């Protein structure tokens, strides 16, 4: 079972933004040094308390500051992201990271923010699916084209293609059953938040039945349990249930507060 961490960079409103960004970067650098396999960061464009407005730009600042850890978007709200621009930017990021990129996606919940982006809240999940399908076409074909109900473009060309083939792993965030269905339908992993909507581990058998019914192997759509607490027994349960990755929730704080938490998480994983 792989060990990752996640930070939703919600800082006090009176903290200077450059300091916030420095602290957030330090957490990822420390996690890499401690042997974490993955790190995820969230984004929002309209919340003053959340200083990271682009996961991809933030991850780009960590390219040369980290060596082994895979870096993931946690998550990009696809209803707010143009598929052609996002596909080209993330392909470049995958090159900069030498294939260490994980593409975490979500449908979002902030109706006002979506309206600011010209997106209809009611059709956001249909739009997300079409945008992901369009991005796959862009990433895997020399002359891609796509014709959906909400996303359409004629034959085009776009480079570079990602380092990872056929593309970076696409992991869908969301609960059971809707989020799980989306992962089965068009993604490479399911990322439920631990404890939200009941016992997440109890949802794994019906999720696996979904995969079986769709003709997909469990190994093709692994489970990433998101926002797990610092609990050794909970980590053991996740391991024994066949969870592929656990992602610990780490608060956005200064190095002296984050390091002990990251250290504790790494020690717990060594114990199990």
Distance CA 137, CA 87 (A): 10
Tally of domains in the chain: 1
At residue 161, the 3 state secondary structure works out as: coil
Return the number of other C-beta atoms located less than 10 Å from residue 120's C-beta: 13
Express each pLDDT in 213-233 by its tens digit: 999 999 999 999 998 888 899
Positions in the chain whose pLDDT score sits under 70: 195
**pTM for the whole thing?**
0.96
**The domain that contains 27 carries what CATH number?**
3.20.20.30
Question: What residue has token string 């349990």?
Answer: 225
Q: Please state, in angstroms and as integers, the Cα–Cα distance from residue 230 to each residue in 118, 137, 261, 263, following that order.
A: 40, 40, 8, 11
Residue 9 has a pLDDT of 79
Residue 163 sits at φ, ψ, to 5 deg, of -65, -45
Q: In degrees, to the nearest 5, what angle opens at C-alpha 184 toward C-alphas 182 and 187?
A: 75
Query: Which pair of structure tokens corresponds to residue 224?
Result: 């990433």
| Residue 45 near residue 110, CB atoms below 8 Å | no
Q: Do the bridges between strand 101-106 and strand 245-249 make them parallel or antiparallel, or are there none, so unpaired?
A: unpaired
What does the pLDDT read at residue 210? 98
Provide the domain limits for residue 222.
2-271
Cis peptide preceding 166, ω within 30 of 0: yes
CA–CA distance, 163 with 109 (Å, rounded to integer): 31
Question: Cis bond leading into 212, ω under 30°?
Answer: no
For 246, what's the count of Cα atoms within 13 Å in the CB-facing half-sphere? Answer: 29
- State the Cα–Cα distance between residues 4 and 24, nearest whole angstrom: 15
Distances 152 to 39, 86, 122, 140, 245 between C-alpha atoms, Å: 33, 15, 19, 17, 35
Tokens representing 48 are 């003053």
């Amino acid at each position: 079972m792989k060990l990752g961490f996640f930070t939703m960079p919600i800082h006090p409103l009176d903290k200077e933004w450059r300091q916030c960004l420095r602290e957030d970067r330090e957490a990822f650098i420390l996690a890499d040094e401690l042997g974490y396999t993955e790190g995820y960061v969230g984004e929002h464009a309209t919340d003053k308390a959340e200083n990271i407005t682009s996961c991809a730009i933030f991850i780009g600042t960590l390219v040369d500051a980290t060596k082994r850890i895979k870096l993931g978007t946690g998550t990009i709200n696809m209803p707010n992201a143009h598929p052609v621009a996002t596909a080209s930017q993330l392909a470049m990021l995958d090159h900069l990271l030498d294939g260490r990129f994980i593409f975490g996606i979500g449908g979002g919940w902030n109706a006002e923010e979506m309206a600011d982006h010209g997106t209809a809240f009611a059709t956001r999940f249909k739009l997300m699916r079409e945008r992901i399908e369009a991005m796959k076409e862009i990433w895997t074909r020399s002359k891609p084209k796509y014709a959906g109900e909400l996303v359409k473009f004629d034959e085009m060309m776009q480079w570079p293609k990602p380092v990872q083939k056929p593309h970076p792993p696409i992991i869908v965030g969301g609960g059971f059953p809707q989020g799980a269905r989306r992962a089965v339908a068009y993604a490479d992993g399911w990322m439920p938040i631990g404890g939200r909507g009941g016992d997440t581990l109890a949802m794994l058998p019906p999720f696996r039945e979904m995969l079986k019914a769709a003709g997909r192997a469990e190994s093709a759509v692994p489970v990433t349990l998101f926002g797990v607490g610092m609990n050794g027994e909970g980590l053991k349960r996740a391991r024994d249930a066949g969870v592929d990755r656990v992602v610990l929730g780490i608060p956005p704080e200064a190095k002296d507060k984050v390091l002990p938490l990251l250290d504790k998480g790494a020690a717990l994983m060594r114990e199990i």
